[in-house]
Structure 1
Amino acid sequence: MSVSEPSAAQGRWPGGARCAVAVTVDFDAELPLLASSPDIARREKTLSVGRYGATRGVHRLLAAFGELDVRTTWFVPGRQAELRPALVHDIAQAGHEIAHHGHAHENFDLLDLAGQRAVVERGSAALAEVTGRHPRGFRIPDGDWAPELPEVLGELGFTWSSSLRGDDLPHLHPATAGSARRLVEVPVHFELEDHPYFFFNLDPAFPSGQSRIASYREVLGNWTTEFTAYHRFGLCYVLRLQPEVTGTPGRISLVRELLAHIRGHDDVWLATVGEIADWWAATHDSNEPDHPAEVFARLTRVGT
């Protein structure tokens, strides 16, 4: 039955839930700025834009999640655990899931497979030093990964990723030789992120060609409209926030309003990304034959 039909949602999620919702946070602070241009290390005004997330945004988000009793997934570069161990510890102690987001928010386009593996290993070690456990989940910080990296992630103990954008439901990465479990992908989408709407830095422009700051009401309308559709069709809604972007005195109210709206539905499974990935792995041993992940795998095998 087509996913476009509302009845396709029946029995897909635990407890008879109509759809799944995961709230995620990328705790990057100034690291993307430094990764984009090392010269920014001498630009305090520019760095302060990212550092605001650590100074104010993290605790505002934690307070909102605590008030609404929402457990979330935080994607944390290893370097953040080294720079701000107390903050990372606070996030974990509040009951939120800690996942991997590179070490220093590296651009994976500039790294070969060995370099990407080294970043993953270094970031995992830094997070484990603070949280006491190695992360199971991964989100690519910037760029694209080498085709073999999902297999490497599996070898290193990862069970899921939330990096790709090719579906509205989780799916399995192609099977790899000797793997006991296929890596689950829990997709994300630009329209459910705060960064494209709100992030602004005057000089130097980051990102290049930046737009104006969007209307708060319209952004909340976009997020709510998307939730309505995800709920109708029984999909997996993944919100992606950043403390330096949404953790302001005004924008935090958008997060509260959206989550209160979602909480008003008694047939929504609000879970961490890891919980969603575990459920999908337990209930799916394969993708549909025509799923893009399977088509890509077949084409890759033909090409080799």
Structure 2
Amino acid sequence: MQSPGELRWPEGKRGCMALAFDLDGPTGDAMLNGSIWSSPEYFTFGSYGPFRALGRLLDLLQDFQLPATFFVPAWVVEHWPEQCRAIVEQGHEVAFHGYRHESFFALSPDEQHAVMAKSAEIFQRYLGITARGFRTPSGDWQASTPEVLKAAGVLYSSSMRGDDRPYCIEVAGFPPLVEIPGKWEMDDYASLAYTRNPDFPKGGDRTASYALTLDNWQREFDGAMDEGLCLTTLFHPKISGQPGRILLLEKFFAHMTSRGDVWFARCDAVAAWYMQECQHAG
């Protein structure tokens, strides 16, 4: 296979930007342990993402004509189907993100298979799609997970941190799983989340300067594009889709699109192109 360092992006572009958003809603640890049902504040904090912030974000993406991937727990699709259908109708990708944002590290292979099968059925029933991508909800997985994903028909993952270019994870009996790695510096939770309970991230009862956050994101983007790399984001509508923060995203999008040497693509397009390039090189 071709070395990722030798990649030449489509259209003669220098670098690749794959915008991605985790539409978690109120799923996660508090839902899994049941505590969310006695915490209206946290439930509504999560629900704000699909109910209110998503539309604002979709409008912004349309204004800049930018494609994006949304990793969505299937529970969110069940409870906000109209909003999730709008993602697909506007030409964006919807990909797997667990059923209720489970930790795949804590699930047995059989439990992982069950989550993937349930999610696939819900995506087909409510959205009429067969998803090709996956982002692990908890940022980790077991050694068995790549095989589980391939058995579920998944082409790519955007879960690990092993590179700043796409790479392949070999899976016995299946074609390789393409990995589109992210980085925590491009996670809006790290700088913009304000939640008192649960305290996530730890010590997260604060927000960074919006100007500093924008500067950090722009530097990460420019550095990646200057080196011809592939950058993706771990943004959350309930965090960065709020009124003041959408202005931050607007400035970030304006900065990104001011360059003419960037291929903007959905994650599934990046993975499909990477596999084709590797096959040609091999």
- TM-score above 0.5: yes
Once the 2 structures are TM-superposed, how far is the Cα of residue 33 of structure 1 from its aligned partner?
5.0
What percent of counterpart residues are identical? Answer: 34
Counterpart Cα distance in 2 of 1:118 and 1:141: 15
Q: Decide whether aligned partners of structure 1 residues 119 and 74 sit closer, same or farther in structure 2, where only a CA change above 3 A counts.
A: same
The residue number in structure 1 matching 2:103 is: 107
Once the 2 structures are TM-superposed, how far is the Cα of residue 203 of structure 1 from its aligned partner?
3.1
TM-score, reference length from structure 1: 0.87
The residue number in structure 2 matching 1:255 is: 249
The match for 1:245 among 239, 251, 254 is: 239
3-state SS of the aligned residue for 1:240? coil
Structure 1 stretches (4+) deviating beyond 6 angstroms? none
The residue number in structure 1 matching 2:278 is: 284
Once the 2 structures are TM-superposed, how far is the Cα of residue 286 of structure 1 from its aligned partner?
10
How many residue pairs are counted as aligned between the two chains?
280
Q: Would you say the 8 A contact 1:116–1:145 is kept in 2?
A: no
The residue number in structure 2 matching 1:210 is: 204
Q: Would you say the 8 A contact 1:78–1:125 is kept in 2?
A: no
Q: Decide whether aligned partners of structure 1 residues 80 and 259 sit closer, same or farther in structure 2, where only a CA change above 3 A counts.
A: same
Aligned residue identity for 1:279: W
The match for 1:198 among 192, 202, 219 is: 192
The match for 2:35 among 35, 39, 43 is: 39
Q: Would you say the 8 A contact 2:103–2:141 is kept in 1?
A: no
Verify: 1:27 aligned to 2:23, yes or no: yes
Verify: 1:55 aligned to 2:45, yes or no: no
Aligned positions of 1:139-158 closer than 5 A: 139-142=135-138, 144-158=140-154
Counterpart Cα distance in 2 of 1:13 and 1:50: 36
Counterpart Cα distance in 2 of 1:276 and 1:128: 23
Q: Would you say the 8 A contact 2:72–2:96 is kept in 1?
A: yes
Once the 2 structures are TM-superposed, how far is the Cα of residue 285 of structure 1 from its aligned partner?
4.3
Q: Decide whether aligned partners of structure 1 residues 116 and 205 sit closer, same or farther in structure 2, where only a CA change above 3 A counts.
A: same
Aligned positions of 1:262-281 closer than 5 A: 262-281=256-275
3-state SS of the aligned residue for 1:25? strand
RMSD: 2.0
Superposed CA deviations along residues 172-205 of structure 1, whole A, max 9, x for unmatched, are 011422x2x2110000100011111111211342
Superposed CA deviations along residues 92-146 of structure 1, whole A, max 9, x for unmatched, are 1111011000011112232111111111111111111122122000111115222
Q: Would you say the 8 A contact 2:193–2:239 is kept in 1?
A: yes
Once the 2 structures are TM-superposed, how far is the Cα of residue 37 of structure 1 from its aligned partner?
3.7
Q: Which runs of 5+ in 2 are unaligned?
A: none
Structure with the greater alpha carbon radius of gyration: 1
Once the 2 structures are TM-superposed, how far is the Cα of residue 157 of structure 1 from its aligned partner?
1.1
Aligned residue identity for 2:266: T
Q: Would you say the 8 A contact 1:172–1:286 is kept in 2?
A: no
Verify: 1:79 aligned to 2:65, yes or no: no
Verify: 1:233 aligned to 2:214, yes or no: no
Q: Would you say the 8 A contact 2:146–2:171 is kept in 1?
A: no
Q: Which runs of 5+ in 1 are unaligned?
A: 288-304
Counterpart Cα distance in 2 of 1:192 and 1:49: 21
Q: Would you say the 8 A contact 1:200–1:210 is kept in 2?
A: yes
The residue number in structure 1 matching 2:89 is: 93
TM-score, reference length from structure 2: 0.94
